[in-house]
Amino acid sequence: MKVVVLGMGGTIAGVADASALRGYRAGEVAVARLLDGLDLATGVELVAEQVAQVDSKDMDEALWLALALRARHWLAQDAVAGVVVTHGTDTLEETAFFLHAALDPAKPLVLTGAMRPSTDAAPDGPGNLRDAVAVAADPAARGVLVVFAGQVFGASGVRKVHPRDVDAFEGGDAGPVGRVGAGGFVATGRWPRAGAEHAPWALEALARRLDEGQGLPWVAWVASHAGATGDEVRALLAAGVAGLVVAGTGNAMVHRRLEVALEEARAAGVPVVVGSRCGQGDAQPAEAGDRALALTPSQARIALQLRLLGA
């Protein structure tokens, strides 16, 4: 059984001074080295491929395209049971959602990372990587998944909720779809399917735009807050923004003055999607409208970009 591991860099491949995080550099260690000595189930063969070596705070759509194309290539091989992606945690939820929407794979495409660099006295990367491989090799698994600290999340709604703790991710109201422990992988929920979020045109359309010196359509992310005026929305409209995502308060609520500016955007033909700035739980406002109830604002932004890309 073959599992392909695609390296993108991040803290899991990072290095730092052993006594502190002085001199920290992400993505320094090649993915092939991360696999050295990994405790694997019998019969699992690993193939390593380096796609990028980047701090995920600097992730961009050209790297997303490169990763998605390599993942699609390997997932199409009959001998490959699944694909694992090693990735930085800062934008892991965004990359996972992009792959989920663009590929909606029938085989498991599993992202993982680490909160401690590879040179730490107690790195969490090896355990996360071992668990990710176990999930990717499971014949029942499917879809884009995030494996972290023994939990398995679907790509839609997964979010980073802590800047330092090793269990830095959670899955919103949907919770985990499985867990990995000493007894192996146990599924506890439904496998993710892209459904209405699926954008099968995404990779080819994005490739054409990149060739033309463009990227994904410009979708800006603004927040509702006390004293909001909506002036930033008007400035964005004047600058030619293609879409707006709003991180609303509570159950995707928006300040009355900001709502006036958003109505001006809608009247100008600029789509608006409203989510919640709350770190946990899925918003359930009385009137859903154009609310992105189960996505983080960062994922709602990608969903709108892909929708505009296919328009």
**Residue 202 lies inside a defined structural domain of this protein:** no
The CATH number of residue 225's host domain is 3.40.50.40
Residues 154, 36 share a domain = yes
**What is the predicted pLDDT for the residue at 264?**
98
Most confident of 24-33, 83-92, 273-282: 83-92
**What is the predicted pLDDT for the residue at 291?**
53
Residues 103, 21 share a domain = yes
Q: Does residue 285 surpass a pLDDT of 70?
A: no
pLDDT in tens, 231-260: 999 999 999 999 999 999 988 899 999 999
Using the structure block, give the residue that is written with the tokens 């709003």.
246
**Residue 201 lies inside a defined structural domain of this protein:** no
Residues 238, 156 share a domain = no
* Distance, CA of 192 to CA of 49 (rounded, Å): 25
Residues 98, 10 share a domain = yes
Residues 173, 230 share a domain = no
**Residue 211 lies inside a defined structural domain of this protein:** no
The CATH number of residue 145's host domain is 3.40.50.1170
Specify the DSSP class assigned to residue 156: S
The per-residue pLDDT of the chain, averaged, comes to: 92
Residues 224, 187 share a domain = no
The domain tally of the chain equals 2
Query: Mean pLDDT across the stretch 218-231?
Result: 97
Exposure string (b/e) for 99-138, b if CB count within 10 Å is 16 or more? bbbbbbbebbbbbbbbbbbbebeebbbbbbbbbbbbbbbb
* Distance, CA of 303 to CA of 38 (rounded, Å): 35
Give the confidence band of 43 by pLDDT, cuts at 50, 70, 90: confident
Q: Does residue 61 surpass a pLDDT of 90?
A: yes
Q: Does residue 283 surpass a pLDDT of 80?
A: no
Residues of the domain holding 280: 217-309
Give the confidence band of 280 by pLDDT, cuts at 50, 70, 90: confident
Residues 174, 36 share a domain = yes
**Residue 224 lies inside a defined structural domain of this protein:** yes
pLDDT in tens, 298-309: 999 999 999 999
Residues catalogued as catalytic: 11
**Residue 139 lies inside a defined structural domain of this protein:** yes
**What is the predicted pLDDT for the residue at 39?**
82
Q: Which of 138, 162, 196 is the last residue of a domain?
A: 196
pLDDT in tens, 127-181: 999 999 999 999 999 999 999 999 999 998 899 999 999 999 999 888 899 999 8
Q: Does residue 202 surpass a pLDDT of 80?
A: yes
Residues 118, 25 share a domain = yes
Q: Which of 142, 161, 196 is the last residue of a domain?
A: 196
Both tokens of 4, joined, read 């392909």
119 or 70, higher pLDDT: 70
**What is the predicted pLDDT for the residue at 32?**
95
